[in-house]
A and B are shown apart, each in its own frame.
Chain A
């Protein structure tokens, strides 16, 4: 049972344009959401998070939007840069539990110069 889904395995975007990565979840108990970026042969690096009491969180070029009614979140990267090319994982947590993360399968972003 895949509780966190990233339905787009890959995405290509031109440098300078906006990248939009999407994530859907099924468990209504999830109340904390995160995005991680991963380069080959490295561990995931934390990018940005959002709690369920908010619908938007922004950090520099990265903005995460949360739509609780649709059980959907998205990561916007503006402007996209070639160094952003990586696999992006969405993760969710039910913080009334033991704070374990449930990850999506990832979206491979390629930013074209």
Chain B
């Protein structure tokens, strides 16, 4: 299956710990997007990355959250000093191009983060 791969599927952390979520885009895709879905809500854009570049982080909280997409390896969404309000499903999507190309973003199955 050459789809978007996210791991872990479920992650449990205690308040104050760090959470690391990983995303490997579809083969041939070099553009990655992270979205967060709170219970009973739609997906909210967080950040858009290309290899080694953050293009748009307008949806990222200013503190504790960071994202990277290194030259080699998966994209990482990192949440430091987690709080209960960080509990959500985090989805990664990828596309072959970030410009208008009529090619939709394809989503992974998400990481469900639970904070105790």
Contact = CB atoms under 8 A, between A and B. Distances in A.
B106 to A, nearest CB: 7
Contact of B48 (A45, A89, A100, A102): A100
Contacts of B104: 34, 46, 49
B25 interface: no
Given A34-B104, A43-B4, A49-B104, A100 B109 contact: no
Interface size classification for chain B: 20 to 34
Nearest to A2: B42
Interface in A33-89: 34, 36, 41-46, 49, 51, 89
A32 B98 CA distance: 13
Contacts of B107: 36, 43-46
A4 B48 CA distance: 20
A43 B45 contact: no
Contact of B102 (A36, A51, A91): A51
Contact of B105 (A41, A51, A101, A102): A101
B55 interface: yes
A28 B59 CA distance: 20
A111 to B, nearest CB: 21
Contact of B42 (A41, A89, A95): A89
Contacts of B91: 43-44
A44 B43 contact: yes
B102 A41 contact: no
Contacts of B43: 44, 89, 91, 101, 103
B98 A99 contact: yes
Interface centre among B31, B43, B95, by most chain A C-beta atoms within 10 angstroms, is: B43
5 interchain residue pairs of minimum CB distance: A43-B107, A95-B100, A103-B42, A98-B56, A100-B45
